[in-house]
Structure 1
């Protein structure tokens, strides 16, 4: 192989990724090269020499990414708020949009600590990789954080990511989890599956082909898991406790039947039902406070 340069490799990588339909070809090309070279993206400009072996390894990863294998599967790492997570096949890759929901949960936990002068109790249902639970444990020292995951493979990833964090991780169904915490929880947070079964073809290839179905699909309208969450949150929360849950763009208050907010408002168990926008101005998550 003739001598290759950093610039030529990045250019080739970006072209291949763009042709593959990757949404952020330049970004992904640089992340993959930094991964192969064992440096940060910022340090790429300092790289003068690239071996043939490194170039071959890089192009192999680029072709896999162009085939829409998730970037995080290729690097083995996902970054979420202030924590680093190990991810791979079998677990939902955390998305940047979910950081807003996690931030809401962190703020609520801090509020409880201030107002009650005790350790807040937080439950993360459908924890997946453990992203939200790990963030709360890291950002709210003293919080008693509990998390549950049903998927076998995802649970193994969560176990790895939450090791040493102090989070109480359990393997089970969110609809029946934490019987021992009934009425004692301050904050329930959840990023449930919310894609309608009929929307399969519209899902991005990275998610459709690589994220577990258990983390994606939830009945004909995508809100089956939200309904289970509403019931479980009411069971777990103490008086005045709060719940927050992510949903699809189309499941905001203007969605069919009132969307996710209506799931909570219709039962009469909740007050202060609000929907929140993401940074792009799209409906992203619903919060509510237990009325009793």
Structure 2
């Protein structure tokens, strides 16, 4: 496609960008166009919409930068890589190449972990996030349950750098991130953890994601979990039993078709009360269980 002509107003810029992004198969082109322009202008999405209604002009320098971002987005580079941030619950997480971009559906997984953490009888409950990626679930638990102590494990160098940045910027004294494989994580916490949470890789090796943003930009180690997608889940179940105290919980995100098999894995290992929970679209999204 030919390059977009330089726009002279906010409304003109948004119209041209939305058309270009729609032609590239972007699901919500108008939304992405507004978010990218907000990133360039330092405005919220609502601020961009107001500027368009007022008929605000677009400075030439902002126009050039915006057109560059739109063209890069049209190649299906993730929006979050272009803006450098991903919203997650009340947080704005720094993300980029080398780290899995947190999804809105993971917010309900974090909610399950937070609810279990709040229900703990301990005055200072301990939580663990295994394979933390950007630190999304760990930071949600740490900021929303400030009396908890949260430990996050990550074994990818690139993801660990992003997690450490987010913990330094958004976390408090109650959260730490460690560079360690989840299978070996935190032996010093054995038998003391109230909640073990994880969004592990769960895509089967031969199931290629449809979206180019996922297929080409999310790290393969954060996506693929073996022939049935559950290799890491099997490890999580055993590690969770080691870490959790009696009555402690495990919370695992997964694909909508995997709940039954994950319940079988957990129950076979000795977990009790395994239950699968739907997200807001009524797709099975997470499974929980309790250590006897």
Alignment-derived partner of residue 11 in structure 1: 15
Q: Deviations over 1:70-101 (max 9, x none)?
A: 10100001110011111001100000000001
Q: Does 1:145 align with 2:150?
A: yes
Alignment-derived partner of residue 104 in structure 2: 96
Structure 2 Cα separation of the partners of residues 28 and 2 of structure 1: 18
SS in 2 for 1:250: coil
Structure 1 Cα separation of the partners of residues 236 and 10 of structure 2: 49
Structure 2 Cα separation of the partners of residues 59 and 251 of structure 1: 41
Q: TM-score, normalised by structure 1?
A: 0.93
Alignment-derived partner of residue 256 in structure 1: none
Structure 2 Cα separation of the partners of residues 213 and 180 of structure 1: 30
Alignment-derived partner of residue 118 in structure 2: 110
Which of the numbers 54, 62, 75 marks the counterpart of 1:54? 62
Whether the 8 Å CA contact 1:89–1:210 is kept in 2: the answer is: yes
Whether the 8 Å CA contact 1:197–1:218 is kept in 2: the answer is: yes
Which of the numbers 236, 246, 267 marks the counterpart of 1:229? 236
Structure 2 Cα separation of the partners of residues 189 and 3 of structure 1: 47
CA root-mean-square deviation: 1.3
Q: Does 1:154 align with 2:156?
A: no
Quote the offset at 1:196 in angstroms.
Answer: 0.6
Alignment-derived partner of residue 276 in structure 1: 277
Which of the numbers 229, 249, 252 marks the counterpart of 1:245? 252
Structure 2 Cα separation of the partners of residues 153 and 59 of structure 1: 29
Quote the offset at 1:2 in angstroms.
Answer: 6.7
SS in 2 for 1:12: helix
SS in 2 for 1:272: strand
The 5-angstrom pairing of residues 40-189 of structure 1 reads 40-47=44-51, 48-112=56-120, 115-116=121-122, 118-163=123-168, 164-166=171-173, 167-189=175-197
Quote the offset at 1:3 in angstroms.
Answer: 5.8
Q: Deviations over 1:128-158 (max 9, x none)?
A: 0001111111100110100000100000000
Structure 1 Cα separation of the partners of residues 65 and 262 of structure 2: 44
Whether the 8 Å CA contact 1:134–1:165 is kept in 2: the answer is: no
Superposed structure 1 runs of 4+ greater than 2 Å apart:
none
Structure 2 Cα separation of the partners of residues 14 and 246 of structure 1: 33
- Number of aligned residue pairs: give it: 281
